[in-house]
Amino acid sequence: MPINADKPHLWKADTRASVDQFNDWFMKFAPKAYRDTRKKTIESVEQGLTETNDLSVITPEIIKRNPAILPTLRMSTCPPLARDGLIGLADSTKNLVGTLEEGRLPSHLATEVLDAHLRKIAAILSQMLDVDIFPWIAEKRRPTKEERYRSSTIVADRLCGARRTHRAKRAGETAACADRTISN
């Protein structure tokens, strides 16, 4: 039997202690962890900019070469596209987009079907690029080094926020499932 499971009068104090412990941990370690993660993510976004010629060329071929670029491209749009939003707009499938975002191409999809989906995905992403973050796109020029870094940082922040929200949502779903299991 778990500790204090049979002592409901202690639950509030245990909960407060747990929340305090988490808050202490969060205040000490979360900012550094976030900055470290953001730095790696900025590097990944900059690589994506390089691969797409600073977002001037988003093609099925680029997505095929580096399927894991898809989250970066989704966060480069105005507004940033959730995975389900891209799926709906491009009339694609959750399985296909999820597989791409894992960095893989689907293994059991005919090439012509994959290409058709990737053309629609690339077209949606190209049409919705955020020209406030990437001003060089509308101005049809190369970005400055500063613009490139600033844009990469903004997209990296969006990616980090989206991942954190996704993890929190998953944790909440897991907890809700556990609550239903315990109460049944």
- The predicted pLDDT at position 44 comes to 95
In a domain, 47, yes or no: no
Listing DSSP states for 5-61 in one string gives TT-GGGHHHHHHHHHHHHHHHHHHHHHHHHHHHHHHHHHHHHHHHHHTTTTT---HH
Q: Does 12 map to a domain? A: no
- Structural domain including 143 reads 52-183
Each residue's pLDDT tens digit, 113-122: 999 999 999 9
Q: What is the pLDDT of residues 5-46, one digit of tens each?
A: 777 777 788 888 899 999 998 899 888 988 999 999 999 999
Please give the C-alpha separations between residue 86 and each of 40, 126, 129, 156, 181, in angstroms, as whole numbers. 24, 12, 13, 18, 33
Q: How many domains does the chain have?
A: 1
State the average pLDDT over residues 139-158. 97
What is the per-residue pLDDT across 85-111, written as a single tens digit (0 to 9) for each?
999 999 999 999 999 999 999 999 999
